[in-house]
Amino acid sequence: MDFSELVDNFSFLDGWEDRYAYLIELGKALPAMDDADKTPENKVDGCMSQVWLTMRRDGDRLFFRGESDAFIVRGLIAVLQIILSGKTFDEIVAEDVEADFNRLGLDAHLSPTRRNGFFSMVARVKAEASRLRETL
């Protein structure tokens, strides 16, 4: 799924309860992360829930996987993967994720702690893309 399809899917949902349910569905569809990857190095600071991200480089592209112990946060990881995973380092660094977040209507309906956690994940991915871009 790409971001435009995600925006369309969110636009078809009537109320915020339906959007929460859809976020949970997206999160449930994420493959489970190996327990061996749930290390302190992969843990994302700034999240109320437990969140881990693993990243892998393929040429000038960054791919990442994530997991959380909270269903809504797993859904936010799925959203972030749709927005950023598989893009080039330059595209990731330049992406206006806050605008994407707002287009989905997430800005108005998530708690401040979930919002902060989401943007902590964004910061982690962008920092890695920036670091890897310097190695090219």
DSSP secondary structure of 51-111: EEEEEEEETTEEEEEEEESSHHHHHHHHHHHHHHTTSBHHHHHH--HHHHHHHTTGGGTS-
* Count of CB atoms situated within 10 Å of the CB of 52: 21
92 exposure class (CB count in 10 Å sphere: 0-12, 13-18, 19+) = buried
- Active-site residue identified among 23, 26, 44, 47: 47
Single-letter amino acid, residue 79: V
Q: Please indicate whether residue 28 is annotated as part of the active site.
A: no
Structure tokens at 69: 């112990």
Helix, strand, coil proportions of the chain in percent (round to 5)?
Answer: 55, 15, 30
List the catalytic residues: 47
